[in-house]
Structure 1
C-alpha cells in the first residue's frame, strides 16, 4: 500500500487522520514540525504528504516551497483550519493538489487521498515523458563521461577527426562505449544532419549480412518477396556504423571493400550499380591484425577502415572515471523511471572504483540499476555494494540478493537463470550465437530465453 506522511504539530489531529486511513490499509510516517516533514518528504519512500499549514520551525507553505524548488514529485494535500483565497492560490502555484479543512470530514479525507495518489502517479509519468522529450530533442546522445587522460584523449581526437571525412576504427573490449564514441563522431561531423545507420555485424547470420548491407531485389532468393533497401543506401549522405566488424564473413568483407573503393553498391540479385555517399565508422572488440595474420580478416579492408584509430580502454585501466560514470548512470536511471533522489555514498563509490568491471560500462550500468532497486534508505551504501556486488570483481553476488528476495524455488531459479544469461551475453558482447555455443544451448533456445526474461542489448 502507499505510504502517507502526516505532518501536523498536534498529536490529536494526527491520530484522527491515522485512525481513518489505517482502516483503508495505508502505511504511515509522522512529522511534528516542518523541518522533520521536509526531511522525510525528500528522503524517498513517501507517496503522499498531508501537510498542515501551521507548524513550528517551518510552516506548511515553507515546506511546500522547498519541495517545489527540489522538483519533488510527491503530491501534497494542505490541511488548514483558517485558509484564505490568497493562501490557496499560492499553494496551488507551488504544486499542492488539494486542501482539507479542520476538522476533516471522513468521506472527504478518503476521496481526497485517493485522488491525490492518482495525481502523484500522473506526475511520475509526466516526469518520464518530459525526460523522453528532452532526450529526443538532444538526439538522445549520452555524453562521454570521465576526465582520465585516456578519455580526455578520446574527446580531443573526436573533436579533431569528426569534421573530416576520414574513416574511423574504434577498438576496445565489450561494453567500453565504442558505440557512444561512434555516435559522437557522427554528431560532430559535417554529416550530422544526415542519418546514422547502425549495423551489428555479430548479430546478423552470415548468410543474411550481404542482404542487410546492400539490400536485395524481389526474388533474389527464397523469401525475398519484395525489394529491400540495404544499410548502405539508408546511410546515404550520413554515417554507417559497422559494429563488431571482426565478426563479418570474408565474402561480405570483400563486398564492403569494393563499396568503399567505388562508393557504389549492387543489391543482391540485382545488376544495377547504385552510387552511395557514406562515411564508414567501424568498431570491434577483436584484434583485427591478429585476424589478418590468421587469414580471417582482409588486410586491405583493415587499412581502408583504420585511417583513424581510437582505442577505448577498459574501466579497470581508468578507475578514476568510475565514480563520475556511476553517478551519471544513477541520475539517468532515476530521471527516466521517475524515482525519487537516492545518493551514492562516498564509501560505495570507492568500493565500485576498486572493482575490475570485466563487462565495463555496460556492466556498471546494470549494477547501478540493481543497487538502486534493491538498496534501502535514501543512499546506496558500501554495505549495499558488498551485499549485491561480489568482492574482487564486478560480479553480482546473486545468491545473497536472491535468497533474501525469493521464497519460491521456481522464482529463485528463473531469476538466477536470467542473471546467468545476462552475464554471459555481456561477456560475449551480446553475440547470441557465441553465447549459445559457450553455455551449451541452441541459439533458438537462447532467443526464447531472451523473450521470456525481456532481455535486450543496452544502448
Structure 2
C-alpha cells in the first residue's frame, strides 16, 4: 500500500482544525498537514520521510509512545497529554489520539496521530495552580492532618524542601501550596520537569545561554533559574537528573550562582529551591545512581506525600470532589456515588494514587448521564482486576521459591517488553515506580547498560 499523501489527501487534511500526521511501520512520516506544521514549526516537506521522534521530540518518545502502543496493541489511544519540543526548541503541550492504518488485507501498515494544541488549557491550569494553598489539600485522615501540622512552618522558611512520594500523590500540589503561602508568593513559581527535558537541552533550559554559545544561539536566552528570579524553582522528579547535571546543580546550591552557556561571568541564584521525587534517593545514593552530597543538600526539610492506600478515610471525600469538578466541566448535575460504586472505590488498591482516582471520576462523569454514578459506570479495569496484584499476591512473606521465580520472570518479561523503561513497565504492572524499583532490587534485576538512557 502506498502511504505517501496525494494532493487530494493533503488538501483534505489541510482543512482540518487539528494537526494530523501518518507514519509507516518504521515510524517514518508519510503525511503531515498544515496544522501539524503550525504546532511543531516544521514545514511539511521537512517532516516527510523523517522519523516522527526526530520531529516531535516528545516526553513520551523514549518510552510509552502512544503511536507505538496503538500499532503494537492494535488499539486506539485517546486523548493522551504529552509535551513536544518545537523547531525553535520551545515546549508545546498537546493532546494526542492515535490509531492504526491498514491495507486492504487488514494488515497494520502504519499509524495516524492527531494533535490538538493544549497551550490554552495548560495556561488555565497554571493560573489555577497559582491560587493553590493548603486548603486545596483535601483530607481528614491522620497522614494529611500530620502534613497540615508541618507545612505552614516550612512555607514561612527559606529552607530547601524535598517532597517525597509515589506517582500521583500530589507532590506538585504541595510544592505550589508551599510557594503560595510563603513570603515569595508574589514572585514567580517555575517548575522544571527533570524527567521530561531531553538531556541535551537540560543545561541550556536551566541556565540559559548567551549569543554565540553554539551554532544556533543567535541571541541571549534566559534560563529557568533566571526566570524564577527571587521566587521559587521547583525541581520535579529530581531523581531523574543525569549525573552530569547533578554535579552542576550541587554547585549552584553551594555557591548560589551559576553560569549560562557561553557566559564569562556568573549569575546570582536568588530563588528558593523545592524538589520532588517518586524514587528512593537514599537507595540510589547507596547504588551510586545519585550523588550523596546533592541528596543531603536537597533534604534539609523532607515532606512525605502519603499514598492513597494509607488514606482510606479520604477516598469518599476526594471522589466526591473530583466528581463534582468533572461533572461541571461536562455540563452535568450528578447526584454522587451509588453504594455499589463506592464499594469498588474503597476496595481498590490505587497504585496511581490521587491522580488515578481523579481520572476514574473524570471517566465516570463522562459516561454517567444523570443521577448517581453506578458500579457499571466505572472503568472496566476496576470491576475486573487482574487475578493477582504484583505486590500483594506475588510477594507474600511466606512465598515459596517457585513463586519468587514466577514473580522474577514476570518482572523481567515486562521490563524487556518495554525496553527497560521503568515508568512504562510500572504502568503495565499496575504498580508505582517506587514499588517497581524495590522489586527490581529484590530480584537483582539491573538495567542493561545499552538501555540506561531510557530509564
**Per-residue CA distance 1:66-125 (angstroms, 9 max, x = gap):** xxxxxxxxxxxxxxxxxxxxxxxxxxxxxxxxxxxxxxxxxxxxxxxxxxxxxxxxxxxx
Match of 1:268 in 2: 261
* CA-CA distance at 1:155 after TM superposition: 1.9
Is residue 283 of structure 1 aligned with residue 279 of structure 2?
no
Match of 2:349 in 1: 356
Cα separation, partners in 2 of 1:272 and 1:386, compared to 1, 3 Å: closer
Q: Aligned pair 1:186/2:179, yes or no? A: yes
Q: Does 1:219 align with 2:191?
A: no
SS in 1 for 2:350: coil
In the other structure, the counterpart of 1:415 is none
- TM-superposition CA deviations, 1:164-212 (whole Å, max 9, x none): 0111001111111111111111111111111110000000112211111
Alignment of 1:14-413 (within 5 A): 136=127, 139-141=130-132, 143-385=136-378, 387=380, 389-392=382-385
Bigger radius of gyration: 1
Quote the Cα distance in structure 2 between the aligned partners of 1:377 and 1:422.
35
Q: Give, in angstroms, the shift of residue 250 of structure 1.
A: 1.4
The Cα of 1:268 is off from its aligned counterpart by: 1.2
CA contact (8 A) 2:330 2:366 kept: no
Question: Within 1, Cα distance between the matches of 2:426 and 2:334?
Answer: 27
- The alignment's TM-score, normalised by the length of structure 2, stands at 0.56
Cα 1:234/1:376, change in 2 over 3 Å: same
In the other structure, the counterpart of 1:100 is none
C-alpha root-mean-square deviation of aligned residues, in Å? Answer: 3.2
Query: Deviation per CA, 1:246-304, whole angstroms, max 9, x where unpaired?
Result: 00011111111111112111101211111121110000011111111111211111111
Gaps of 5+ in 1: 1-128, 396-419, 430-437, 447-459
296-305 or 343-352: which moved more? 343-352
Q: Specify the SS of the correspondent of 1:199.
A: strand
Residues 335, 371 of structure 2: 8 Å contact kept: yes
TM-score norm. by structure 1 comes to 0.55
Closer, same or farther in 2 for the Cα pair 1:336/1:312, shift >3 Å?
Answer: same
CA distance in 2, matches of 1:370, 1:156: 34
Change (3 A) 1:375 1:422: farther
Task: Return closer, same or farther for 1:140/1:339 CA change in 2, 3 Å cut-off.
Answer: farther
> What SS class does the counterpart of residue 185 from structure 2 fall into?
coil
How many residue pairs align between the two structures?
A: 278
Query: Structure 2 vs 1, CA of residues 242 and 269 (structure 1 numbering), >3 Å: closer, same or farther?
Result: same
Alignment deviations for residues 117-141 of structure 1 (CA, whole Å, 9 cap, x no partner): xxxxxxxxxxxx9xx9999588342
**2:415 aligns to what?**
none
Q: Give 1:341 shift.
A: 3.2
